[in-house]
Amino acid sequence: MTTPGTTPGKIIAVHLNYPSRAAQRGRTPAQPSYFLKPTSSLAPSGGTIERPAGTELLAFEGEIALVIGEPARQVSPADGWRHVASVTAANDFGLYDLRAADKGSNLRSKGGDGFTPLGPQLIPASAVSPDGLRVRTWVNGALVQDDTSDTLLFPFGRLIADLSQHMTLETGDVILTGTPAGSSVVVPGDVVEVEVDAPDAPGAPSTGRLVTTVTEGTATFGDFGAKPAVDEVQRVEAWGSDRELAAAIAAGRADASATADPAAASAFELTDELKSAIGGVAVATLSVALRKRGYHDVFIEGVHANHAGDRIVGRAKTLRFIPFRPDLFASHGGGFNAQKLAFDTVAPGEVLVVEARGERGTGTVGDVLALRAQVRGAAGIVTDGGVRDFDVVAGFEIPVFSQGPHPSVLGRKHVPWEVDVTIACGGAAVQPGDVIVGDGDGVIVIPPQLVEEVVAEAVEQERQEAWVAEQVADGASVDGLFPMNAEWLARYRASIAEGGER
């Protein structure tokens, strides 16, 4: 509770506010956005939270909570902090299993009883600076979140000013100001602790640790409302990344039998808007964003474009060759074989990706098949083998990425075996429907469920790098600028907020 015996009139939570969390999510909002939590979700320090029966993805979010003192209505960002009476620690628990139930309102996913522990102590706002607070979270004694309020995308005063444009913030109201990177899933038996302090303020005031123990619920969900449902996207987001999920499975904290919903990938649409966004970022930048999420082997090694400056963006259609064997070639090499089938059925906008096991000693595509793919509207061809009729193919418009030319025809090294299966091309696993992006640096594979967040992060990264390049061109030293320290980051944000580039 905000003070002994009182209950806030409303609890308002911010979606994204820490750059570390925004980077993890792959999107940086231009303005703050919010959701409400019911007061019945409040809980004191030392309490428990139930993970409902039949669910698996209960996640913690350590946060700094602001408690409003003097009511605020139509205040300015400069005056916003004056309306804060105190700060305390909060844990904005959420159940990813129910995220789809409310289309972003978070009522069911974050409004459960006990889902908003606060406390245990209040720090007077007058005793601290709004940019001098620190929030830390521990799970079973291990530090998992550690960030400070001087990094916020939207400072406290701005949040209060923005909210006060729409409603009166009343005495006792609570604002949860966002969580930094490190939020993840907890399971029954885990103990989560959150502390907010001001280490550089006189006396280093602290809230003490807000302690919550996770227990297993027994009551099941009825048929008269939304049921828990998760897919691989929610699972990865809840744990924080593929790497954290894999570690959790290895440690027995996550169910290894839980697999992605097959409909999730098929439901993904590579829209014209997404294609345009992808077309504006480099493969190298996309590679960095994927590495942050544990995807280190998604680069198709050793292939280069037949036209300098070519780019490809499209969804994968796959073709697999196996090593040559006379009897297998006799049964699979002739007639309307898998190779011809692949080129004759590639859809408009698809990229035909060929597994040739890195064998460049023979051709895997020639002029007739490349022309057929172009006529069908394919976005490109990628093979980790060779290309026959190289000069003729280079004269076509269709981009072709390969290991280079080779005059030999089919039957020297390969047997065309199957289409539309998971393959290995240039050391990267490629599944039908994966998003393939190629440029002068090579070709990368993006799983469909990661495309939107990876592209959003890459777009922002390139915008930052372009801004940094302008500062360097104007004579700035790279020390502290590349990568940007807090001072340069603040100048960058101010420039973007003003609509300028400098």
How does pLDDT run across 295-320, given as a tens digit for each residue? 888 999 999 998 888 999 999 999 99
* pLDDT tops 80 at residue 61: yes
Which residue in 142, 451, 438, 474 sits closest to 313, CA to CA? 438
132 in Cβ contact with 205 (< 8 Å): no
Mean pLDDT of the chain: 89
Q: What is the pLDDT of residue 137?
A: 97
Give phi and psi for 12, each to the nearest 5: -115, 130
Rounded to two decimals, what is the model's pTM? 0.56
Is there a binding annotation on residue 388? yes
Tokens 């289309």 correspond to what residue? 103
Q: What is the pLDDT of residue 257?
A: 55
Q: Check residues 80 and 258 and name the one with the higher pLDDT.
A: 80
Q: How many CA atoms lie within 13 A of 100 on its CB side?
A: 12
Is there a binding annotation on residue 82? no
Is there a binding annotation on residue 143? no
d(CA 374, CA 379): 8
455-500 pLDDT, tens digit each? 988 888 888 888 889 999 999 898 888 888 888 888 888 887 776 5
DSSP string, 344-383: HHPPTTEEEEEE-TT--SSEEE-HHHHHHHHHTT-SEEEE
313-353 pLDDT, tens digit each? 999 999 999 999 999 998 888 888 889 999 999 999 999 99
Is there a binding annotation on residue 150? no
- 118 by Cβ neighbours in 10 Å (0-12 / 13-18 / 19+) ranks as buried
342 in Cβ contact with 419 (< 8 Å): yes
For domain 11-230, give the fold.
Fumarylacetoacetate hydrolase; domain 2 (3.90.850)
Q: Which CATH architecture describes the domain 298-446?
A: 3-Layer(bba) Sandwich (3.50)
Is there a binding annotation on residue 210? no
Tell me how many degrees the CA angle 176-66-41 measures, rounded to the nearest 5. Answer: 50
Q: What is the pLDDT of residue 453?
A: 87
Is there a binding annotation on residue 233? no
